[in-house]
Amino acid sequence: MSNPSMRVLPAFAWHVSHLLSFRHDGRGLPRPGSSVLVLMVGLKLALTCLVISLLMPEVGLFSGFVKSLLAVVALYACATVSRQFYAFSGYLLLWLGVDVGLLGLNLVVDHVPEAFITTCYAWGLSAFIVLLIRAASYNDKNTS
Q: How many domains does the chain have?
A: 1
13 part of a folded domain: no
In a domain, 95, yes or no: yes
Structural domain includes residue 43: yes
pTM for the whole thing? 0.73
Residue 85 forms part of a structural domain = yes
Q: Tell me if 7 is assigned to some domain.
A: no
Q: How far is CA 10 from CA 96, 112, 133, in A?
A: 14, 26, 25
Per-residue pLDDT tens digits for 32-61: 777 777 888 888 889 888 988 888 888 888
Question: Does residue 79 belong to any structural domain of this protein?
Answer: yes
48 is a domain residue: yes
Which residue range forms the structural domain that includes residue 80?
A: 32-143
